[in-house]
Structure 1
Amino acid sequence: MADTPHLGLPLIAASQNQKHVTHNAALVVLDAVVSLSVVDSGHTAPPGAPNEGDRYKVASGATGPWAGWDLNIALYTSGQWTKLVPRKGWFCFDEATGAMTVWTGAAWTDLGVAAGFLSFGTAGNGSLTRLGILTAADTTTRLAVKSNAVLFSHDDVTPGTGDIHAVVNKAAALKDAGFVFQSDWSTRALFGLLANDDFTVKVTPDGSTFHTAVVIERTSGAVSHVRGSKFSAFLNYGQDYAAGAWRDLQFNNFRHNDQGHAAIASNVLTFTAPTAGVYLFGLSATYEAGSGPSKMQIGLSVNGAAPAADTLGTTGDAAVVSGETQCSATALLKLAAGDTVAPKILFSGANGRVLANENSVWGARIA
């Protein structure tokens, strides 16, 4: 008597007596294997009190009536056990675990794994190996999402505590734990713990040359604007100035000149704004001697213009006293990229001289 090639159903032979027996046997097998569902997959021997129609996926190492039935399907029908040999492509649902498996010809394999997709088992216990939403994930980018928006909210279902924390952890200080922002897949900015444990913000014009913009020191919380222009300069000798016009207040030494945006040429200092922004400047000078000037003023020239009112410091109209009279000024200037700032001095009524090492100018970009 022949069987069908895929489900192994017995065929009725020509002129066969009691055809109903063969027909019913085929129906029993068909009933067992279509939408195959087993009680469990862990038994190696028959359970004590099976119900009619119960099916089990026999575990490896089967004994007793199931000896030699490893990985086959055991069907209990008409008071006895029948072995159903799986064919390649059979699906099987495990009622005990919820696993959905497929027979590959050699083993029962999770349906998702067999197809190269998500494992149903791992989906159930939360241990996915990768997940892609509208795009493919890979072994490096194990979570990949294409979406107009992504929402993370506190748990108000379980319920949770009302808090939400997103944790980014790295293996060691010299590694990176950061967020990368790209334009058309080319990096433009990143922040996080980048190659150390201080919080750092970096930007790049092309995805290859990076500029450190801000560093927050991890132990003190001090904020450093690494790329922000900062300078301070002084003159270490006395200098005479003719009265009656604004003159270049001279300087010959930098205490510091971060980023090199200030320059001294022939003792004339000029600061050039590298970018548009708000800059804070300070300026001071101490009178040393002269022929009795009536007034001493200092100020800042922007783009070669005479110092404006909000950049001036003056002695007033009182007598100018050697070694005691000092002018100082501070100015908050909004500059465009390329604007220049230079310190100036003006004596009225007579020539004057400033004291060595007691004049200074400084500036910094603050916003």
Structure 2
Amino acid sequence: MSINKTPANRVYTYIAQRGIVSRAELMKEFAMTSSSMTRLLEEMIADNRLQERGFGSSTGGRRPILYETNPTYGYLFGLEISRIYSSMGLYDMHMNRLSAIRWTMDETMSPDVFMNRVHDAVRQFAEEHGLEQANIIGMGVGAVGPLDRERGLILDPVYFPAQGWHNLPICELLEDRLGFPVLLDNGANTALVGEHWALRSESYQHMLYVHVGAGLRSAVMSNGQLVYGATDMEGAIGRMIIQAGNPLQPGSSMDGALESIVSVHSIENGARSFDQLLQALAAGDTVVREKFRQAAAYLGIGLANLINVLHPEQVILGGALINAHDSVFETAVEVATSHTYYYPQYKPLFSKGLLKEDAVAAGAAVMVLKQLPQKNLT
């Protein structure tokens, strides 16, 4: 999909990210003449893209007019496609969530069934909020990788309970069904985009996100931008070698890679389901507690390796294993911190994020907000 790089798009995105800005701030940020900036702001107000938000403090002259984006200028959908569950949210242009829905990804959730669920939910949300097709800017999708983002394909995901998800042209299928633009990225990236947006007042530039669920997924942000490799690297953290001496055999339960020790599937290991293990953990089963503690400790080692290379300011952990028990997060952080180079002079902040389980879908919607399609901002 063609992405607009006009001054209007850049100014709009800048205001959207910062919330409320003055004309003077915009003049410092963009190489435009005073008359050009004034004309652009007037045009964007006339088109309902922007609205005035009162006056700022005076520095000796007239109080400056403040501007913000119009929350009802358009609406965004954010869709998460994951192995255990998927979810979708409807957001306005201020990223206020208006409606949401979640589906369990069981063996019946084929792509066709899933498309029908998404289509029905989009239609339901539009009817509930009185939206026309022209009101919808687009949909962002955060999906389990590996992906081909440019071609909008879900390539070869593992652990999906239903068939048919391989080499799936998800963007094309959704656009045909829904009639508006769709953007794709892996779920770890969109989760990090969502959390970065939620924390934008803190101005973090270097962040690490790690999701520990059926597998391990991670995303990295440097200088406020996502870091991409030559191929989709969402699951690369799972291939980090923690135990040397074992042959690298993806899918093996004992190949020395982090994912073979730290993931929902490694915890289950054919003995009991994850839900059963959670019940035993809550009941104080000492054997199960040790199983989770060991997984958390190895996760801490993996985090330390990443931290010592990437040096993030903020480390956000999410996923079913992290949320299984407070001790998992605490142990992982303790081990990671104890192995962090140059600690305590360098001390990254650890958290479970602000958006938590909503991060993937919300971040997917933010992705659309930051890459508005050309037909909407010309």
- Normalization by structure 2: what TM-score? 0.19
User: Of Structure 1 and Structure 2, which has the larger fraction of its residues in helix?
Assistant: 2
User: Of Structure 1 and Structure 2, which has the larger fraction of its residues in strand?
Assistant: 1
- Normalization by structure 1: what TM-score? 0.19
Higher RCO, 1 vs 2 (CA within 8 Å, ≥6 residues apart): 2
Question: Whose radius of gyration is greater, 1 or 2?
Answer: 1
